[in-house]
Amino acid sequence: MNLRISNNKKEITSEKKLKPKFLVKIIQKALNFSVHKKYLGSQMDDKDKQIIQLLKKNGRASYGNLGNKVGLSEGAIRKRIKTLTNSGVIRKFTVKIGEIEGAEAITLLATSPSSPTQEVSKRIKEIPNVETIYEVTGEYDIVAVITGMNVVEVNECIEKIRRVNGIMKTNTMIVLRSR
């Protein structure tokens, strides 16, 4: 089976006779590829950037509400968010616990030179309550954002991180207030 794209035309050829169901899936993949290709690099337009900024402020905003603020229809917003999500620009929608109801910490982690940072990051990300992992430059190699229902829960998570093979040193800061 071959997929050829030239001058914005897509052509699928096959030496075998394909079942219609299988052919539909291949065509859908080809179409999705061309749609998501738009978001590689810096191809997002101003409307996409506005949508992302609004979702950062309120991830529960309705498509209609977003459309009113951006100047697009509800259907157009729905399609753009789906494309942004499928292409990996939007990785996840999440719930952030309020300061009164929860605790948050930022933990800086130094890894052993003999342990690949990427492998250590993967192990840390599997620990419950670890929300986000950043691999960074400087004295520390990894930054972990941890959330929990209370400080005790956050501390238990930090203790689990300290036991991960390859962690040499940690420095944790409890978040007092976020704006």
Q: What is the CATH number of the domain that holds 80?
A: 1.10.10.10
- What is this structure's pTM? 0.50
In a domain, 151, yes or no: yes
Query: Are 119 and 163 part of one and the same domain?
Result: yes
Query: Are 9 and 46 part of one and the same domain?
Result: yes
Helix, strand, coil shares of the chain, percent, nearest 5, are 40, 20, 35
In a domain, 91, yes or no: no
Give the domain-ending residue among 58, 86, 114.
86
DSSP 40: S
Query: Are 62 and 119 part of one and the same domain?
Result: no
Q: Can you give the pLDDT at residue 116? A: 94
Q: Can you give the pLDDT at residue 32? A: 46
Domains identified in the chain, total number: 2
Q: Can you give the pLDDT at residue 102? A: 76
Residue 168, pLDDT > 90, answer yes
Task: Catalogue the long-range contacts made by 115-119 (C-beta closer than 8 Å, 24 or more residues apart).
Answer: 115/165, 115/166, 116/166, 117/141, 117/142, 119/166
In a domain, 93, yes or no: no
> Would you state the structure tokens that stand for residue 87, as one six-digit string?
């292409």
In a domain, 148, yes or no: yes
Rounded to an integer, what distance in angstroms lies between the CA atom of residue 92 and that of residue 169?
30
pLDDT higher for 107 or 84? 107
In a domain, 94, yes or no: no
Q: Can you give the pLDDT at residue 160? A: 95
Query: Are 71 and 128 part of one and the same domain?
Result: no
Q: Can you give the pLDDT at residue 176? A: 86
Q: What share of the chain in percent tops pLDDT 90?
A: 41
Query: Are 109 and 157 part of one and the same domain?
Result: yes
The tens digit of pLDDT for each residue in 127-159 reads 999 989 999 999 999 999 998 888 898 999 999
Query: Are 15 and 44 part of one and the same domain?
Result: yes
Domain of residue 68 covers: 2-86
Query: Are 82 and 144 part of one and the same domain?
Result: no
Contact predicate 167/111, CB 8 Å: yes
Residue 75, pLDDT > 70, answer yes
pLDDT higher for 96 or 61? 61
Rounded to an integer, what distance in angstroms lies between the CA atom of residue 147 and that of residue 149?
7
CA atoms within 13 A on the CB side of 115: 17
> Averaged over 43-60, what is the pLDDT?
84
> Averaged over 48-54, what is the pLDDT?
87
